[in-house]
Amino acid sequence: MTCIYCPSDGPYTEEHVVPAGMGGDDGKWLLKDVVCGVCNTDVFSPMETKVMRASPLAIARLFKQTRSRKRGKRTAAPSIYAPVSYFDDPQSGLLLEQELGSGGQSMVWPQVNYVPPERMTVSATDAASANELIRDLGHSPTCLRFVKSCGTVSRCVTV
* Mean pLDDT of the chain, nearest integer: 76
**67 or 28: which leads in pLDDT:** 28
Within a domain: 3:
no
69 and 101 part of one domain = no
For the segment 42-71, what is each residue's pLDDT rounded down to a tens digit?
998 888 877 777 777 777 777 767 666 666
DSSP string, 49-98: HHHHHHSHHHHHHHHH-SS-S--GGG--------S--EEE-TTT--EEEE
Q: How confident is the model at residue 144 (pLDDT cuts 50, 70, 90)?
A: low
Helix (H) or strand (E) holding 132: helix 127-137
Choose the final residue of a domain: 48, 74, 100: 74
Specify the DSSP class assigned to residue 26: S
Q: Are 61 and 21 in contact (CB under 8 A)?
A: yes
Q: Residue 38's domain spans which residues?
A: 12-74
Within a domain: 81:
no
Choose the final residue of a domain: 32, 49, 74: 74
pLDDT at 26: 72
The total number of structural domains in the chain stands at 2
Range picked from 6-10, 48-52, 68-72, 108-112 for highest mean pLDDT? 6-10
100 and 61 part of one domain = no
Within a domain: 112:
yes
Choose the final residue of a domain: 22, 50, 74: 74
